[in-house]
Structure 1
Amino acid sequence: MKHQVVMERQSPEEIKAYQEELLRRQLVYLRAHSPYYKQLFEDYAIDIETIRTLADLRRIPTTRKDDIQAHNDDFFCVEREKIIDYCTTSGTLGRPVTFGLTNDDLERLAYNEMRSFRTIGVEPGDVVQLMTTMDRRFMAGLAYFLGLRKLGAGVLRVGSGIPQLQWDVILQHKPRFLIAVPSFLLKMIEYAEQQNIDYRNAGIEAVLCIGESLRDAALNDSLLTQRIREKWPLKLYSTYASTEMGAAFTECGAFQGGHVHEDLIITEVLDEEEQPVPDGDPGELVITTLGVQGVPLLRFKTGDIVRKHTAPCACGRHTYRIGPVEGRKQQMVKYKGTTLYPPAMHDLLVGFPEIEQHIIEISHNDIGTDEIVIYISTKETAEEFLMQIKDHFRAKLRVAPRVEKRPSEELQRIIFNPLSRKPITFIDRR
């Protein structure tokens, strides 16, 4: 890890050779310490000594989330007394599972985020406002704190929500950077305008954005990004991570996908038959963690649909990038012959400033097909407005969902459920 700055500027061939050496070490570790993978190697007669290259990985079966749910304890590779921190997945898809991190895993997590923050320009001595939770066994908030601490930056641990509190802290402590869910920035802007806060001159230079995509599949700014930047011309950097990865893909100033941390993770982008898709084509992200002690994963299917970008990056790093999550495999909607994912629908709704809150609900109807209902809160009273939303969906996504108005307070209670670590804007009742 200490040679990292040099490593990411090496040739793709040298980086690949480096990853393959780390992979061989990880396989030896799994065979010795993982009850689940030791059994997998035996069941499929896999001699790990023959797995020498990244291409050889395809001879090993993939792991799914339901495998971990069914055999959670068997994925632990150390005694419980060596586990320093327990995290759970956020439960976006299915029942949450528990991950345990050793002291070295926490150090690895800190190193990962330190690199991410350096990528977006955070320097020792900078002040960064953390606008996401650190509690409820949420890995992301802890990772950000550890990374900033390792980098030597100051952290304002404000937590999620409450625009008034966020602005009070910003105006008092003058952070250069924020860590936030991008749609919440619109709430921050709305509050600032109502309170006559000169937000454009508050000292914020950039935001590390989590939970929602900033770019579309072609890596152009999403409607959400455009709306934020029209009001508040910040640098908005996307970061994509998950508890299972223990690593992040973070954009550099070229904004052309998140750079892989090649000493922490190996990725594959696969089609329905688990074959690699051409670079730049959409497929499911499959990850193999490197250097994890507590709960390492081998060829884990994330369920996230992404694209891999290998064209040279203007920043000079030779690591490939992973594009935004275009959807989750299990949340794919089949609607009257059209396939679509919730992020595309969310992005269209963000294009209507009149919409204060929205929730997308998917259910099966009586004839066995998917039904889409969009609940919105808005001060717009004209019925034509609902038709305008339907027409926009029809033009852009070739679907016409049902659109219904609801009181803002009703939607707010669902979206910001205190039992959820993330805003709930998509409900799948299928």
Structure 2
Amino acid sequence: MIPEIETKSAVEIKTFQEAKLKIALKYLSENSPFYKRHFEKHQISVSKIQTLEDLTEIPVTTKDDIQQFNDDFICVSKSKIIDYVTTSGTLGDPVTFALTDADLERLAYNEAISFACAGVTSSDVLQLMTTIDRRFMAGLAYFLGVRKLGAGIIRVGAGIPELQWDSIIKFKPTYLIVVPSFLLKLIKYAEQHDIDLNTSGIKGAICIGESFRNDDFTLNTLGEKITEHWQIDLFSTYASTEMSTAFTECKAQQGGHLHPELIIAELLDDHDQPVKDGEIGELTITTLGIEAMPLLRFKTGDMMKAHNQPCSCGRTTLRLGPIAGRKKQMIKYKGTTLYPPAMQNILNNFNALECFVIEISHNTIGTDEILIRIASNSPSDELLNQIKDHFRAKLRVTPKIEWSDKEVIDALRFPKLSRKPILVIDKRK
């Protein structure tokens, strides 16, 4: 189930996207209160935007714009809105996104071709381990996509290893949709209750929310810890509410594939210009085919690399590598530039750690400070020194690390109304 456009030449894909872009620009200029003002303020004539390169003529849209003018992004009457979702608010206050019936159908199509990209077929059964309520787009998208693909789905929701294993044993799913670190809890539960992981029938996991790959697509510490116990395929999928689109790995597991009919992707530098091939840039997206809240040159805040070589799966589309980090969470620490995922990867090396949280703040002279709170059943100076040595070896710096009670850390990681664990708390203004 590979859409035909995803196997065309780079020139054909570009021509196809430029035709879609013209339709999107015309729609925005006629229906979006925000973009009508945007075009007028910056004296943009949308008819002159003919190529993907011309996009640089249009100033970018930011999360601040959506937070400040949320309702002005809606392009349809309230009577056409079928569903409301909110972002998770990882980098600020949550914003609301409205979806029409056509948008929900697009969401289903996106997830169906994304699951198919990872090798899921209509004969598979998937166990959903994320919430489908709390105005969460991802859980709804997964359900709609599995349904459109014709596969089966078991809606268990987040957490509770006992219930997850009860469903796995009872209903025999073949794939899990899961935050990868939760797989470690499933492994631990299985070991404690004499469940044979590798006869469970699980072929693979569609993983969200956390990176389990290094920059070269090899497994990082988290990925290695999962697969050394459970011989399943791990597929990374990257998406956001703002995009209503997913970049999912295929069987080659060399980055998440772009769907050219759904989204235009740019990687930009600090001056909002495209980065050179192979360089890390901020993913900036233009949505295609969205009715209620389409976005133009929206900066996601996520830093990553693009890969343009054709893939062994037959797709010729751009692929996105693992997220290096979020731009707003970039840390300048003792002359070194850091992103939280690099620190998380180091901490995941230590099985003795039960949990951790990373706090970023400014000190009295305005420079960045890092405090990592860690919890363990067996805290010791020796373990703490091993962790510090690992930081020095891998990142050349050692942040402040201190022991905390697990209950204290869990209270920080699971704030009220949060739909997913918070591993980074940024207190900088």
Would the TM-score normalized by the shorter structure come out above 0.5?
Answer: yes
1:331 aligns with 2:320: no
1:262 aligns with 2:224: no
| Closer, same or farther: CA 107–396 of 1 in aligned 2, 3 Å | same
Aligned to 1:365: 363
SS in 1 for 2:190: helix
Unaligned 5+ segments in structure 1 are none
After superposition, where does 1:68-217 map in structure 2 within 5 Å? 68-217=66-215
Given that 2:379 and 2:403 are in contact with CA atoms closer than 8 Å, whether structure 1 keeps it comes out as: no
Aligned to 1:253: 251
Give the Å deviation of 1:133.
Answer: 0.6
SS in 1 for 2:236: strand
- Structure 2: how far apart are the matches of 1:368 and 1:15? 47
Deviation above 3 Å: which 4+ runs of structure 1?
A: none
Given that 2:112 and 2:146 are in contact with CA atoms closer than 8 Å, whether structure 1 keeps it comes out as: yes
Aligned to 2:299: 301
- Structure 1: how far apart are the matches of 2:51 and 2:38? 19
Aligned to 1:280: 278
1:399 aligns with 2:407: no
Give the Å deviation of 1:254.
Answer: 1.0
1:340 aligns with 2:335: no
- Structure 2: how far apart are the matches of 1:195 and 1:407? 27
Letter of the 1:250 partner, please give it.
Answer: T
SS in 2 for 1:268: strand
User: What RMSD over aligned residues (CA atoms) do the two structures have, in Å?
Assistant: 1.2
- Structure 2: how far apart are the matches of 1:417 and 1:74? 30
Provide Cα deviations, 1:168-220, integer angstroms capped at 9, x if missing partner: 11111110000000011011111111111112211100000000112122222
- Structure 2: how far apart are the matches of 1:8 and 1:375? 45
- Structure 2: how far apart are the matches of 1:35 and 1:195? 57
Percent of matched pairs sharing the same residue = 59
TM-score, with length taken from structure 1? 0.97
1:356 aligns with 2:336: no
Aligned to 2:54: 56
Question: Which moved further from structure 2: 384-393 or 371-380?
Answer: 371-380
After superposition, where does 1:307-318 map in structure 2 within 5 Å? 307-318=305-316
Provide Cα deviations, 1:154-176, integer angstroms capped at 9, x if missing partner: 11111111111111111111100
Provide Cα deviations, 1:103-162, integer angstroms capped at 9, x if missing partner: 000000000000011011111132100000111111000000000000111111111111
Question: Which moved further from structure 2: 406-415 or 394-403?
Answer: 406-415
Aligned to 2:38: 40
Give the Å deviation of 1:418.
Answer: 4.7
1:415 aligns with 2:410: no
SS in 1 for 2:271: coil
Match of 2:269 among 247, 268, 271: 271
Give the Å deviation of 1:290.
Answer: 0.3
Q: How many residues align?
A: 428
TM-score, with length taken from structure 2? 0.98
Question: Which moved further from structure 2: 376-385 or 411-420?
Answer: 411-420
Give the Å deviation of 1:368.
Answer: 2.4
- Structure 1: how far apart are the matches of 2:158 and 2:37? 42
- Structure 1: how far apart are the matches of 2:163 and 2:416? 17
- Structure 1: how far apart are the matches of 2:130 and 2:377? 29
Give the Å deviation of 1:255.
Answer: 1.0
1:226 aligns with 2:212: no
